[in-house]
Amino acid sequence: MLVWVGCPDPGIVVGNPPVDSQDAGCVEPPPTQTPDAGEKSDLLTPSRLLRRASLALRGTPPTGEEYAALEAAGDEAAQRAFVAAFVDQTLQQPAFYQTMFEQARDWFNLPLTPRTADAPEYGLPQQRTLQRCAVGTARAGAWKYYRGDTSACSGLNADGSPVDERSLEPWWAPGTTVTLVGFAASTAATGTGRDPTSGNPVTITCATTGPEGTCGCGPNAVRCHADFQTYAGFDNYVPYNGEGQRRLASEEPARLFAHLAWHDRPATDLILGSYSVAPTRLQAAYVMQGLAGGVTSLLDDDSWWRPSRFASAPVDPEHSPGDPLAWREYQVPERNPFFLAERDYRFDPRTQTGASRGIPAAGMLTSLGFLSAYPRERVRGARALETLACEVLAPPSGQEFNEYRRDPGTEGPCQHCHRRLDPAAIHFKRYAKQGSATEGYGAKYLMPGVGTVWHWPARWRTGAYPYGGDPFSHWNRWYSPDTLLTPVTEAQAQVNPEALFLDFLPPEQTLLGQVSDGTVGPLGFAKLIVAAGAFDRCVVRRLHAQVLGRDIDPAREAGYLDDQVARFIAGGRKVRPFVKSLTQSNLFQRGR
């Protein structure tokens, strides 16, 4: 008796594996020396098979009506045909989309964007909050800044002059007209703000500074957010609000995976694609990040909020095209141009002068929910390896290491993980949060060395005020020259401090045995795990666990895993056909 290496159950004995089976080498041959020779005693009955298929594809057992229809189908062969038709129908129903979303949400396990202070203060919106003037005020029903403009609703400034007033079509309610009053309605090119050091009034340029001080909300009020709650901020903040921006951001990666499954796109688009999915409120966060980087042309772009402009975009099956609440497909570089459409952008700050143009968009890896949820590059790299390459980062036991001095990638016991982790983390350097927020506005998300805005005098390397806090203190502590995470020389860092933000893997390093092509940012990481085959194996294992109820052991079942991965790739890496093939396998239809 022989055991076929790679079978899901090492107890299954086989002779010659059938070459045309999806479970090649893993099918138990019918007994030949028993009274029931030729009969498979462990095939599930049609009713149990229907239950298994229903739980795998939609997460709920069959209904009474479905069981009745199964019984009415006729003999066992007809009932099995009924189950096969049930699988085909379910794969085309919104319930399958929802199952893929829920599976991906549990798989990615992405935390919410952290608070920047007490609830509801988190920084992602980068918009100033508007609330309506109360009933009984001179401008009742009009919208004003929640903070910083106490006289707006009275209709008069402190000197007795009328406050600014402006009617417009707002981005959050296309096709309607609202009235802004006070500073929110200002269209002046300059305004009055506060010097961050002295607190004294200073003149600020509204187009580049945003709605700070007395500057207004801009065209269609795109720099502001209307809050309908009693206390501003909770509308976007609370996780139980399914339409709140904070929850939407955390769900975007899982929604993207479900979108790929539903629209039969390659699963690799999850980390290699330049597009994602988001409703209008979430897309606003990408536009605000682009504006924060100085792309003022976004102020006049209505393609992200006017339904007629996105009516043809593919959407989730639970919404109609053109619905602002739909999870619709969009090109990320069109919302934030610093997430580049270019697929092989290279920038080496050790040898190239000037600013980086940005980092290529990379599906969920450049989603604001992923980048903001993990505040450090090493945490991003670790989670990306664990989640998308199914890597296990476990501490060593019974080993001795050299003394730790300054580089966890080459010194001390932590190098056990950091030798694998830092070549991933290097791709996630150019995104960091600074400061705190008030109802969502005030915190900044820096993309160091990118564009025209995110640069600082060389003294930031000394930690001198105002560069003593995060993220500068983190950069100064951990982006040390001549380390695995920062492979630049001290001389190169002295000439150009931004060389510390080098964010691609140099050729002398490898990740999962792969050498980088020089693509910067998370897309460079994505290319490496796809080239290594780790991403495909990880997706297959996750889908196998969803459909068959258990993971594939990559050590004991290597041959079986390789067969499944080969079939997944041959099918264009599409989720739905692969899921269907798993339901057709002998393993799916067996049980005791």
The band of 397, judged by pLDDT with boundaries at 50, 70 and 90, is confident
**Burial of residue 507, with CB atoms counted within 10 A of its CB: 0-12 exposed, 13-18 middle, 19 or more buried:** exposed
Confidence of residue 193 (pLDDT cuts 50, 70, 90): confident
Looking at residue 208, what is its pLDDT? 81
Higher pLDDT, 198 or 176: 176
Rounded to the nearest 10°, the torsion over CA 304, 308, 313, 318 is 100
Average pLDDT on 34-58 reads 80
Task: Determine the Cα–Cα distance for residues 358 and 430; give it in Å rounded to an integer.
Answer: 9
**Of 40-54, 232-246, 568-582, where does the model show the most confidence?**
568-582
Query: Percent of the chain, pLDDT > 70?
Result: 93
409 vs 135, more confident: 135
pLDDT band for 2, please (50, 70, 90 cuts).
very low
Average per-residue pLDDT for the chain: 91
Comparison of pLDDT for 429 and 211, the residue scoring more: 429
pLDDT at site 229: 83
* pLDDT at 507 exceeding the cut of 50: yes
Candidate from 64-73, 152-161, 254-263, 486-495 with smallest mean pLDDT: 152-161
Mean pLDDT of 573-582: 98
Q: CA-CA distances (angstroms) from residue 38 to 35, 77, 325?
A: 9, 17, 56
Nearest to 210 by CA among 196, 195, 193, 223: 223
Boundaries of every domain in the chain: 128-222, 374-522
The pLDDT-based confidence of 38 (bands split at 50, 70, 90) is very low
pLDDT at 17: 41
Contact 145, 182 (CB under 8 A): yes
Please tell me which residue, 590 or 100, carries the higher pLDDT value.
100
Q: What is the pLDDT of residues 439-469, one digit of tens each?
A: 777 889 999 999 999 999 999 999 998 899 9
Question: Is 296:452 a contact under the CB 8 Å cutoff?
Answer: no
Mean pLDDT of 21-35: 51
| 438 beta partners | 441
Quickly state the pLDDT bin for 209 (edges 50, 70, 90).
Answer: confident
Q: Please enumerate in sequence order all residues whose Cβ is within 8 A of that of 179, keeping only pairs 6 or more positions apart, or say none.
A: 139, 141, 142, 143, 165, 166, 167, 185
User: Partners of 359 in the beta sheet?
Assistant: 339
- Type of residue found at 583: T
User: Which region among 159-163, 367-371, 509-513, 562-566 has the lowest average model confidence (pLDDT)?
Assistant: 159-163
Confidence class for position 159, pLDDT limits 50, 70, 90: confident
Q: What is the pLDDT of residue 127?
A: 93
pLDDT on residue 23: 60
Q: How far apart are CA 281 and CA 501, in angstroms?
A: 31
Q: How far apart are CA 578 and CA 185, in angstroms?
A: 54
Judged on CB neighbours under 10 Å (0-12, 13-18, 19+), 230 is exposed
Mean pLDDT of 279-296: 96
Contact in structure between 227 and 235 (CB atoms under 8 Å): yes
Interacting residues of 583 by C-beta distance below 8 A, sequence separation 6+: 53, 56, 57, 87, 547
Average pLDDT in the 279-308 region? 96
Residue 40 banded pLDDT, cuts 50, 70, 90: low
CA-closest candidate to residue 49, choices 86, 14, 12? 86
Q: What stretch of H or E contains 15? A: none
Across the range 349-363, mean pLDDT stands at 96
User: Side chain identity at 525, as an amino acid letter?
Assistant: F
pTM above 0.85, yes or no: yes
Rounded Cα–Cα distance for residues 552 and 532 (Å)? 18
User: For position 408, what pLDDT does the model report?
Assistant: 82
The whole-number pLDDT of residue 537 equals 98
* Omega of the bond leading into 396 within 30 degrees of 0 (cis): no
User: How large is the average pLDDT for residues 88-97?
Assistant: 98
State the average pLDDT over residues 489-508: 96
Contacts of 296 (CB under 8 A, 6+ apart): 207, 208
Has residue 9 got a pLDDT over 50?
Answer: no
- At 26, the pLDDT band (50, 70, 90 cuts) reads low
pLDDT at 570 over 70: yes
Question: Is the per-residue pLDDT at 375 higher than 80?
Answer: yes
| pLDDT at residue number 37 | 45
Given a cut of 90, whether residue 500 has pLDDT beyond it is yes
Q: What integer pLDDT is reported at residue 11 of this predicted model?
A: 40
**Which residues, in sequence order, are bridge partners of residue 360?**
340
What DSSP character marks residue 507?
Answer: T
- Residue 341, CB half-sphere, CA atoms under 13 Å: how many? 6
Per the CB < 8 A criterion, the answer to whether 13 and 1 are in contact is yes
In this structure, of 71-75, 123-127, 414-418, 443-447, the range with the lowest mean pLDDT score is: 414-418
pLDDT of residue 592: 57
Residue 251 burial by Cβ neighbours in a 10 Å radius (0-12, 13-18, 19+): buried
Residue 553 has pLDDT above 90, yes or no: yes
270-279, 405-414, 496-505: lowest mean pLDDT where?
A: 405-414
Q: Is the pLDDT of residue 506 over 80?
A: yes
Which residue has 């001080």 as its token pair?
213
- The predicted pLDDT at position 22 comes to 57
DSSP-derived secondary structure for 97-137: HHHHHHHHHHHH-PPPPPPSSSTT--STT-SEEEEEPPTTS
pLDDT of residue 41: 58
In the predicted model, is pLDDT for residue 5 greater than 70? Answer: no
Tokens of 103: 């599976």
Q: In which band, very low, low, confident or very high, does the pLDDT at 25 lie, cut at 50, 70 and 90?
A: very low
Q: Which residue has the tokens 């109360």?
A: 134
Task: Read off the amino acid at residue 122.
Answer: Y
Quick one: pLDDT band at residue 394, thresholds 50, 70, 90? confident
Asked if 193 and 209 count as a contact pair (C-beta separation under 8 A), the reply is: yes
